[in-house]
Amino acid sequence: MSKFAVMGHGVVGSGTVELWYKNEKLIKEKQGIDLELGYILDIREFPGLPYSDRFTKDINDILNDDDVKVVAEVMGGVNPAYDFVKKCLERGKSVCTSNKELVAKKGAELIACAKAHNCSFLFEASTGGAIPIIRPMHTCLAGNEITAIEGILNGTTNYILTQMIENGTDMQTALTEAQQKGYAERDPSADIEGHDACRKICILSSLAFGRHVYPEWVHTEGITGIAPEDTKTAAANGYAVKLIGSVKRCDNGKILPMVAPRFVPLTSQLGHVTDVFNAIMVHGNGFDEVMFYGKGAGKLPTASAVLGDIIDCAKASGTITACTWDDSPDDSFIEKYTDVPVSMYIRCEDVSEKEIAELFGSVKFLASDNNTVAFITPEKKESEIDALCASLGDKVKNRIRVL
C-alpha cells in the first residue's frame, strides 16, 4: 500500500480530497492500484470532517513517511510551494500541481530535480483546469511534431468578453458582474491583464517545444482596451473577440508565444467557446488539428485533473520522461513578434476609406458609420502595420490581431 498527500486544503485541495473519497473504490478497481490518502497539510484547523485525523501542520510528516509516494501541491503561489515541492522531489516523491505560477516560473528546475531523483513532476491541472491537455500532448499526440497552439486559457476574461459580445455590456460592468459571481478576484489584474493566460501558454510552449519559456519573454496584452463597439463590429462580421494564448513555430525555427485579444472567426471552434469555459486548439504535422474543451477552473474540475496525475504517479515507476523539458540558457529561440506577419483589425476615426485603402492596400472594410472606419488589414509584418498606424496618429482608436 502506498500513500499520497495533499498540500493545501483550500478550494482545489478540499476538492481533491472530496473527489478521492467519492470515487476511491471505482479508481482502485479500474486502475489496479492500492493507494490511501495519508496526509493533508494546512496551517488551519479542520475539525469535524470524516478525515480530520489526516491533517498535519508539519511538512516533515509527509517528507519522513516513506510510504508517501505522491504529493499534490495545491497551495498556489511560489512560496512556500516551491520549497515544499523541491523537498518532496528530493526525497523521490512525485509531485502533482495545479499551480501554474510555480510551473511557469520554476518548471525547468523542478523537472530536473524530479529526473535527478527518479520521480515525476506533473501539472495537468495547471493549464485548462479539468481539460485533458498536458497528458494527451505527450502521449496521444506523441507521434507528431506540434506546430502551433491557440487557446482560450482564462475563464474570467472569456466570461467578460462573452457578456460584452452577447449583451453589449461594457468592460467594467462585466467585470463587476464576474466578481459578484465569484469568477473574478477582488484584484482582477492577473486575469484581465493576461498574466494568468501567459503562465499557461508558457507551460504549453515549454512542453510542445522542449525548452522552458519564461513569462517575461512572452509579449502579453490583456483585454482592458476592448470596447463594446469592437465586439459589436466583430459579431456583425462573423467574428468573436477572445483573449488568446498562442504559440507557433516560425519558418526560421524560432517560436512565437504571445497573449493578446484576437478576432476569432466563427468558422473556428474557438469562436463558439463562451462563458467561463476554456478551449485549446493544437496543430501538428500528423493529426492536423484537435481541440480540447471544458471547465478551466473550479473546485471539482481542477481536482479531477490533480487526481488524474496522482493516479498516474502512483502507477508509474520512475520519471515520466515525455512530460519534461529542458531549461533555456536565454531567449534567443523566441521570435520577435513585430517581425512576424499578422492580419489586424483596426478602428479609426476621421479618416476616409479611400485613405485607408491607399495606406494598407486591399483591406476588408467591416463597418463605416458616422466618422468611424473599421477594417481588417491584409497580412503584413507587424512592424509595418505599426508604422502605417503611426502615420495616422491618434485617428487610430483600437487594433486587435486576427486569428
Side-chain-side CA neighbours of 361 within 13 Å: the count stands at 9
**Interaction of residue 136 with its own copies, rule CB under 8 A:** yes
Residue 312, SS3? Answer: helix
**Interaction of residue 151 with its own copies, rule CB under 8 A:** no
Nearest distance in Å: CB 289, its own copies: 6
Catalytic-role residue among 3, 69, 105, 200: 200
Which phi and psi angles does 329 have, rounded to 5°? -70, -35
**Interaction of residue 290 with its own copies, rule CB under 8 A:** yes
Residue 221 DSSP one-character state:
-
Using CA atoms, how far apart are residues 211 and 205, in angstroms rounded to an integer? Answer: 8
What lies within 8 Å, CB to CB, of 158 at 6+ separation is 152, 242, 243, 273, 274, 275, 276, 277, 278
Number of residues that bind its own copies (CB under 8 A): 55
**Interaction of residue 181 with its own copies, rule CB under 8 A:** no
Select from 5, 72, 131, 201 the one that contacts its own copies (CB under 8 A): 131
Residue 362 DSSP one-character state:
S
**Interaction of residue 167 with its own copies, rule CB under 8 A:** no
**Interaction of residue 19 with its own copies, rule CB under 8 A:** yes
Select from 156, 206, 220, 304 the one that contacts its own copies (CB under 8 A): 304
Nearest distance in Å: CB 197, its own copies: 19
Nearest distance in Å: CB 284, its own copies: 7
**Interaction of residue 116 with its own copies, rule CB under 8 A:** no
**CA angle, 98 then 103 then 107, to 5°:** 140
Nearer to its own copies, 311 or 346 (CB): 311
Residue 161 DSSP one-character state:
H
Nearest distance in Å: CB 380, its own copies: 30
Task: Look at the alpha carbons of 139, 149, 89, 333 in this order and tell me if their dihedral is positive or negative.
Answer: positive
Our answer to whether residue 200 is catalytic in this structure is yes
Q: Which of 376, 140, 154, 94 is nearest to 280 (CA)?
A: 154
Nearest distance in Å: CB 326, its own copies: 11
Using CA atoms, how far apart are residues 142 and 320, in angstroms rounded to an integer? Answer: 13
**Interaction of residue 329 with its own copies, rule CB under 8 A:** no
Grid coordinates in use for 316?
508509474
Would you tell me which residues interact with its own copies (CB under 8 A)?
15, 19-20, 22-23, 26-27, 30-32, 124, 130-132, 135-136, 138-145, 210, 269, 272-273, 284-295, 298, 300-301, 303-308, 310-312, 315, 321-322
Catalytic amino acids?
A: 200
